[in-house]
Amino acid sequence: MKLFDVYPINPINIVKAQGSYVWDENGVQYLDMYGGHAVISIGHTHPLWVRRIEEQLNKIAFYSNSVQIPIQQELADKLGKVSGKQDYQLFLCNSGAEANENALKLASFHTGRKKIIAFKKSFHGRTSLAVAATDNPAIVAPVNETDNVIFLPLNDEKAVQLCFNKNEDQIAAVIVEGIQGVGGIIEAEESFLQTIRQLCDANGAVFIADSVQCGYGRSGKFFAHDYAGINADIYTMAKGMGNGFPIGGVLIAPHIKPKHGMLGTTFGGNHLACAAALAVLEVIATDDLIEQSRQKGQYLKNRLKTIDGIENIRGKGLMVGFDVPPALKDLKKKLLSDFFVFTGEAKPNVIRLLPSLAITRKQIDEFLEALKDAIEEIKHGETVTA
Ligand SMILES: Cc1ncc(COP(=O)(O)O)c(C=O)c1O
């Protein structure tokens, strides 16, 4: 049987990982500035994370949500403490798309309305409603097309106000990333998020903060939306939540009431996923990784500003992006093939940096040296190996 060929993959077989490094089958060491797409929060194969999963595996890995699973409550308590949203409720699922799918459904159940405001260049996932709220027609199948999602320009407060006026009593939710990731590290302005909060309050709509990529401490606060000093009604999370163990979550404000059967999942909140997620939160708290992310991100951005050839350095914490001029279009490829550094990208010309929150300054320096050298080599006409 062949694999369904949907990914443009690099011909690299990673067989080992530790902290911010991974190794391929030939023993070549790579620096991971991509964090496996913002997933690695506490570092690859963190010893506590491995131990907790092993211990849990030897007790029980899975039983369905038809019985009590006390480790879910343990996770909710710890998550409430670390995120500062102690009075919220937690629904557990398996991925970012599923978290957003449930958040959007919940907003519709709660308000009895159908229309969603989303933003240009947004990415919310590939399931039916999440993809309908994603601004990329190429990944929306005909069956997912709907008039219920209205796309507006990010950071255009007037457009949101006008849209609420025009669709009086019809808007169920506004969904917004605190920092757009796939869109190219574009920050939602604090005043924009505050305006969304006011408009949702005034119009009885639900504010959904998609924190799948920018959340879990990556931005230097637990949620990137926290910089605006507002509380969303719903936060969605995944990626960094399990440090690579698949788990997603929806944080739900107390005024949104649950009903039996309203949401559900077979695998969501299983014992093993909760053990992984608890280990992540424990390391985030004991190693002060949110503050570490803020400080290291600032250091990384400051140092990037001294490098010639790259432009428009932006982002918060360890969610950093910069533009690459056409002459350096092969920079990402060069970094990987000749300098053994993984980075992310956003089309057409953005490099995204999403390393583990536990990356060291030494490793950041190592990246910066590689970046400088790669730029120099491209400028001097050296070809990219692969
Ligand atoms: C902001 C955001 N929301 C949702 C998703 C979807 O997450 P998943 O791939 O886990 O379904 C992503 C994935 O990149 C994302 O960046």
Three-state DSSP string of the chain: CCCCCCCCCCCCCEEEEEECEEEECCCCEEEECCHHHHCCCCCECCHHHHHHHHHHHCCCCCCCCCCCCHHHHHHHHHHHHHHCCCCCEEEEECCHHHHHHHHHHHHHHHHCCCEEEEECCCCCCCCHHHHHCCCCHHHCCHHHCCCCEEEECCCCHHHHHHHHHHCCCCEEEEEEECEECCCCCEECCHHHHHHHHHHHHHHCCEEEEECCCCCCCCCCCCCHHHHHCCCCCEEEECHHHCCCCCCEEEEECCCCCCCCCCCCCCCCCCHHHHHHHHHHHHHHHHCCHHHHHHHHHHHHHHHHCCCCCCEEEEEECCEEEEECCHHHCCHHHHHHHHHCEECEEECCCEEEECCCCCCCHHHHHHHHHHHHHHHHHHHCCCCCCC
| Alpha carbon distance 163, 91 (integer Å) | 30
Residue 315 lies in a domain: yes
Same domain, 23 and 102: no
Q: Does some domain include residue 9?
A: no
What pTM value is reported for the model? 0.97
Ligand 1 site-directed mutation target among 239, 250, 352, 354, most atoms within 8 Å of CB: 239
Residues 112 and 244 both lie in one domain: yes
pLDDT bracket for residue 381 (50, 70, 90): confident
The pLDDT assigned to 384 comes to: 58
Q: Is 89 part of a structural domain of the chain?
A: yes
Q: Does the residue 384 lie in any domain?
A: no
Same domain, 260 and 326: no
66 and 35 in one domain?
A: no
Quick one: 282 and 295 in the same domain? no
Pocket of ligand 1 (CB under 6 A): 95-97, 100, 123-125, 177, 181-182, 210, 212-213, 238
Domain identity same for 230 and 295 = no
State which residues form the domain around 157.
Answer: 47-286
Does the residue 251 lie in any domain?
yes
Q: How far is the CA of 136 from the centre of ligand 1 (A)?
A: 13
Domain end marker among 286, 320, 336: 286
161-170 pLDDT per residue, tens = 999 999 999 9
pLDDT tens column, 55-90: 999 999 999 999 999 999 999 999 999 999 999 999
**Count of the separate structural domains present in the chain:** 2
Average pLDDT, the chain: 97
Residue 272 lies in a domain: yes
- pLDDT of 385: 59
Best residue for ligand 1 mutational test, from 94, 180, 212, 347 (most atoms within 8 Å of Cβ) = 212
Which among 260, 286, 312 is the end of a domain?
286
Residues 204 and 341 in one domain: no
**Co-location of 191 and 258 in the same domain:** yes
- Establish if 3 belongs to a structural domain: no
Q: Same domain, yes or no, for 171 and 185? A: yes
Asked if residue 134 is part of any domain, the answer here is: yes
Are 335 and 204 contained in the same domain? no
The residue out of 286, 317, 352 marking a domain boundary is 286
CATH number, position 348: 3.90.1150.10
